[in-house]
Structure 1
């Protein structure tokens, strides 16, 4: 079931809210859009996610609100420059990323689960995770080793 969560960067200059479903498999609500991207959380070994330890969950723009800190955000784009990776200029934390991909049904945000301030330890421990082999552009399968993610 979707629940409203609040999140922030480390210094709290950037604050957001997002309606997310962190429930384990079998207890989840109907996804926002078709596809696996809307039914789970993701950990990826691409060069960016790996170095930032970015644990993400995809949300539609309707389920995301930047509450404060737009002026504190800087952005980083690489590769095809299609994803807006944002970070706080003050503390360096990456609270979310944004993009618009047709295969994901249009615009979306990828919320960094580690930035959620009010998710319980139990919710985080029970959240479903799909591992992506972004290092080899094999987004549809897990890397051979996932323990470090």
Structure 2
């Protein structure tokens, strides 16, 4: 397993993520489309925050199923938290654009129609 260091633009949010990334989701829902997220999904336990949770802002909308986390200083949204719809497991969706060591050109990108949900 690879350990990635990630965070927001200004550095206020920092985390590590344990997991291999070769496939990402390009969701067309209203927030992902506007923010340009490329998402990789992991068990929530794979993401270790170095920033206190209270220092990370949250946003939910529609069904409030996903808690979109973002930096209150620079506005970057490095991850979202929710529950896997089939297993009920706590899940994190990491914006791989916030992982500097990931070669985006090497990833398989799968379109996802989140706008229809």
TM-score w.r.t. the length of structure 2 is 0.91
Match in the other structure for 1:109 = 92
Counterparts of 1:129 and 1:69 in 2: how far apart (Å)? 31
Which protein shows a greater Rg?
Answer: 1
Gaps of 5+ in 2: none
CA displacement, residues 65-117 of structure 1 (integer Å, 9 cap, x when unaligned): 11124333111000111110011000000010000134155111000101012
What stretches of structure 1 move > 2 A for 4+ residues in a row?
69-72
- Residue correspondence of structure 1 range 95-134 to structure 2 within 5 A: 95-119=78-102, 123-134=103-114
Gaps of 5+ in 1: 24-39, 138-149
Higher relative contact order (CA 8 A, sep 6+): 2
Tell me the secondary structure at the aligned position of residue 50 of structure 2.
Answer: strand
Alpha-carbon RMSD across the aligned residues, in angstroms, is 1.5
Q: 1:84 aligns with which of 43, 46, 67?
A: 67
TM-score w.r.t. the length of structure 1 is 0.72
Structure with a larger share of its residues in strand: 2
Counterparts of 1:60 and 1:91 in 2: how far apart (Å)? 26
